[in-house]
Structure 1
Amino acid sequence: MTPYQYIERPSPFSAKGAVTKPVHAVTPADLEAGKFNPTALAWAKAAGFKAEAGALLLVPGGDGEVASAFFGLGSDPSEAPFMTGKLSKLLPPGDWHVETTALAADHLALGYGLGTYGFNRYKSDKQKDVRFSVSEAADSADIERQLAGVFLARDLVNIPTNEMGPAELEAAFRALGEHYGATVTSIVGEDLLKQNFPLVHTVGRASASPPRLLELRWGEKGHPRVTLVGKGVCFDTGGLDIKGAANMALMKKDMGGAANVMGLALMIMDAGLKVDLQVLVPAVENSISGSAFRPGDIYRSRKGVTVQIDNTDAEGRLILADALAYADENPPDLMIDMSTLTGAARVALGTELAPYFTDDEALSAKLMEASKEEADPMWRLPLWMGYDKDIRSRAADITNSPSGGMAGAITAALFLKRFVTATKSWAHFDIYAWVLADKPHAPVGGEAFAIRALYRVIRDLAAK
């Protein structure tokens, strides 16, 4: 296979002026009200259509061809705002439009668009050519921009490590930057030590693909400075504290933080937001060889803080530490880091909510408002300083893996907080980056978490 490059997918939406067939997206109450073509309504009642969430009924015309369709939203459409994602899989090929619905125009179109995604890089199957007409009430350009960002994140996570190692991730990172005229640089291998990124080098040095720190700069100085940092562990064996086979099966997704910040960066650059953007991705593979770092080792970080390695499987926070310290040397107005960091975050909130940590109350309020408006779920967990004592080490300043196993997501966030001391507005996202069971708008596989809401927050910041 050829290396992954940033590509523009065909639009899932109908061309302007296309002849389209109607889909009636309805609740049971809408059916009772009966404000439809009498013949179509009679067909729906005869077929026993109840408007259950996700149910589709095709309605024939006088010539026997499909003339329209009913699509069920259930009794409370707000419970599944992107239910229209199922339409791309259920409708026959052709051009369609929604004629009546309780859904907001943007959510309707975005849900449909998200549902068109398929990861077909290694398959010969072709998707159905179902296209949807976007209502004039929706911002079609911004919807396509968000779809592109989400699909980029999904693709990068879904591609296996044999084609998405550190070098290949750099190629995708560079392609994204070049597409938008950004400046992209990288520090690779032994140069990491020369330029004082010792923890990035330590974690990745055992791999055949050298570790690297990727940096993208875009925008104009004088605009609000936004820094995005994404964990890029392209595969995580656990190192010498090796994972079991079952726990290693999905470790291609351990670069999900990098994939998500790249998808978010795409949205920002494509929208031409007035920000001074910096994106940092420490890209490594946590492998096992004679040069692998060991439990009990102690390393000095870029910031000068010494770290004792008590578990080589707690590697993500190490590479993030150097990247965050570098960004913090020239404090941005807003810093966001994203990573698939801890299983404890999944124990706390499951796999569908994006946990985040911040000390900035104003930022947290904006995040929660954007989460609600964009139907992009997240939830705040506490940076509880009472647990800071748990990351202290007898032999070094801090440990990368506190004993006891309690509050693991919080202690990991507190570890990172040690490296963000000058930046006033910072949030850490501990995401899953994967969908375990098919959803109307997302198949099983890599997923974007919280980046649509973050895009809204950054868009608002840029507009001030």
Structure 2
Amino acid sequence: MTTFHYTDRPSPFSAAGAAAKIVYAVTPAEIEQGTLDARALAWAKSAGFTGEAGACLLVPGEGDEIACALFGLGANPSEAPFIGGKLSKLLPAGDWQLKTGALTPEQAALGFGLGSYGFSRYKSDKRKDVRLTIAAGADAADIERQLAGVFLARDLVNTPTNEMGPAELEAAFRALGEHYGATVTAIVGDDLIKENFPLVHTVGRASVSAPRLLEMRWGQKGDPRITLVGKGVCFDTGGLDIKGAGNMALMKKDMGGAANVMGLALMIMDAGLKVDLQVIVPAVENSISGNAFRPGDIYRSRKGLTVQIDNTDAEGRLILADALAYADENPPELLVDMATLTGAARVALGAELAPYFTDDETLSSRLAEAAKAETDPMWRLPLWMGYDKDIRARAADLTNSPSGGMAGAITAALFLKRFVTATKSWVHFDIYAWVTADKPHAPVGGEAFAIRALYKVIRDMAAK
């Protein structure tokens, strides 16, 4: 079975047997010590090329031909293992082979592949076709599936809401599941009330695109059960507590949690991991109309806990509450939820680190090890029970928006924790799902956070 690709884009890698020019990836020390081909070294020195990180120099050959290229890794290549992503933008079209002793074959290929991404669905100009040969020893199939998972997440987040509302997200979800032979179901509109998902219905009922609960099942019963839950708020106006224009501008990315778990699910299914996989996405649009939910309303959740609405812009935790309660009714061995949940998480850790919360020390250690091994950064924040009192409401069991404005990422995680009572191993990721400034391996736009590291953790679980 071929790897699922959400959009048609050429592979960033060369076909087998393609004739490829060489790119020598070098450090300043290698330039100074003269360890390069003599002709390339002479050209580098005449051009003032020093091996600075991200610098690229084409070396002429006979006539109008290019003999090779030089690419700078900087003095500390280990600090930027995916810097090779810049090559897809700097090299002329064609097939290239990267030679370096400083980067592993996997780092070189994955970095180049990640950097080759561009979201050009709505642009008329064409990208140049620069391809890299994957070096011997690298697992080409696994690199391709990781890229496909990341690109799926990026594409879904980057697509504007007029083409990625709840119905369109369901279509993408179904296409992914059907490609791998998974069972996909959806509970839509007023059926959410009948099936006891009242908070999902409450948040999404004001939109012209009906709210829905999406579920995918794949794998064999008896294998380790893995459940992934992703926040699918396709656009967030803030509801009646409406956001300002500046804060609303990027709210197409508020389904970034759903996009990320779908990208992770792609990797798991494509690798054929021996797991019993469940993916749950509550998909809604938080809109404004005459039937929008209001500040001061109180609703009963799937779990039976009542929630007082103190801010309609704290809607993500509401739909996750029902989804997590559903997942927890048949406890998996690992429950992962991902959501673009709080601005407080961004204040705490910025836009590049994925904050996570868990009470499982063993799982936390595995996540930290995988994050380091895969260069997929994340950082643990505490489920500090001293703040649990802040999520209590006077007229209901819980408030969706504690007063005071402090420790917002923690209180949101504690809110979710109330709906996970049977599952022993649960982790909540409060991700940004967006790149704010171009990186060698990622342009500005939608981004996958922590899913390559999670893929490694789940792959290791499946192998035991």
TM-score, length basis structure 1: 0.98
Distance 2:395 2:218 in 1: 41
Q: How does 1:33-432 map to 2 (within 5 A)?
A: 33-432=33-432
The answer on whether the counterparts of 1:50 and 1:72 sit within 8 Å (CA) in structure 2 is: yes
Unaligned residue ranges in structure 1 (runs of 5+): none
Unaligned residue ranges in structure 2 (runs of 5+): none
Query: Counterpart amino acid of 1:155?
Result: D
2:125 partner SS: coil
Give 1:376 shift.
Answer: 0.3
Give 1:8 shift.
Answer: 5.7
Distance 1:131 1:349 in 2: 35
Distance 2:37 2:54 in 1: 21
Distance 2:30 2:431 in 1: 38
Give 1:9 shift.
Answer: 3.7
Distance 1:453 1:239 in 2: 34
Distance 1:101 1:94 in 2: 23
Give 1:167 shift.
Answer: 0.3
Query: Counterpart amino acid of 2:355?
Result: P
The answer on whether the counterparts of 1:5 and 1:175 sit within 8 Å (CA) in structure 2 is: no
The count of residues paired between Structure 1 and Structure 2 equals 461
Query: Counterpart amino acid of 1:341?
Result: L
Distance 2:7 2:94 in 1: 24
The answer on whether the counterparts of 2:5 and 2:152 sit within 8 Å (CA) in structure 1 is: no
The answer on whether the counterparts of 1:5 and 1:171 sit within 8 Å (CA) in structure 2 is: no
TM-score, length basis structure 2: 0.98
Distance 2:54 2:81 in 1: 11
Distance 1:329 1:160 in 2: 34
1:282 partner SS: strand
Distance 1:197 1:76 in 2: 52
1:387 partner SS: helix
2:239 partner SS: coil
Distance 2:373 2:205 in 1: 43
2:424 partner SS: coil
**Superposed CA offset, 1:180-234 (max 9, x none):** 1000000000000000000000000000000000000000000000000000000
2:12 partner SS: coil
Distance 1:184 1:170 in 2: 10
Match in the other structure for 1:17: 17
Identity of counterpart residues, as a percentage?
82
Q: Mean alpha-carbon deviation: is it higher for 114-123 or for 6-15? A: 6-15
Query: Counterpart amino acid of 1:295?
Result: P
The answer on whether the counterparts of 1:24 and 1:101 sit within 8 Å (CA) in structure 2 is: no
Distance 1:39 1:51 in 2: 16
**Superposed CA offset, 1:78-122 (max 9, x none):** 111110000000001111001233011101100000011010110
Query: Counterpart amino acid of 1:265?
Result: A
**Superposed CA offset, 1:403-438 (max 9, x none):** 000000000000000000000000000000000111
The answer on whether the counterparts of 1:8 and 1:148 sit within 8 Å (CA) in structure 2 is: no
Give 1:137 shift.
Answer: 1.7
Distance 1:217 1:30 in 2: 52
Distance 2:59 2:142 in 1: 32
1:25 partner SS: strand
Give 1:125 shift.
Answer: 1.3
2:289 partner SS: coil
Distance 1:198 1:268 in 2: 31
The answer on whether the counterparts of 2:374 and 2:453 sit within 8 Å (CA) in structure 1 is: yes
The answer on whether the counterparts of 1:216 and 1:280 sit within 8 Å (CA) in structure 2 is: yes
Q: Mean alpha-carbon deviation: is it higher for 246-255 or for 74-83? A: 74-83
RMSD between superposed Cα atoms in Å:
1.0
1:227 partner SS: strand
Match in the other structure for 1:436: 436
Q: Mean alpha-carbon deviation: is it higher for 33-42 or for 148-157? A: 33-42
Match in the other structure for 2:457: 457
Closer, same or farther: CA 5–136 of 1 in aligned 2, 3 Å: closer
The answer on whether the counterparts of 1:231 and 1:339 sit within 8 Å (CA) in structure 2 is: yes
Distance 1:242 1:79 in 2: 42
Distance 1:399 1:40 in 2: 66
Distance 2:181 2:205 in 1: 31
The answer on whether the counterparts of 2:339 and 2:429 sit within 8 Å (CA) in structure 1 is: yes
Distance 1:181 1:20 in 2: 37
Distance 2:292 2:160 in 1: 22
The answer on whether the counterparts of 1:5 and 1:172 sit within 8 Å (CA) in structure 2 is: no
Give 1:36 shift.
Answer: 1.7
Distance 2:186 2:90 in 1: 45
Distance 2:343 2:211 in 1: 24
Q: Mean alpha-carbon deviation: is it higher for 225-234 or for 27-36? A: 27-36
Distance 2:5 2:105 in 1: 32
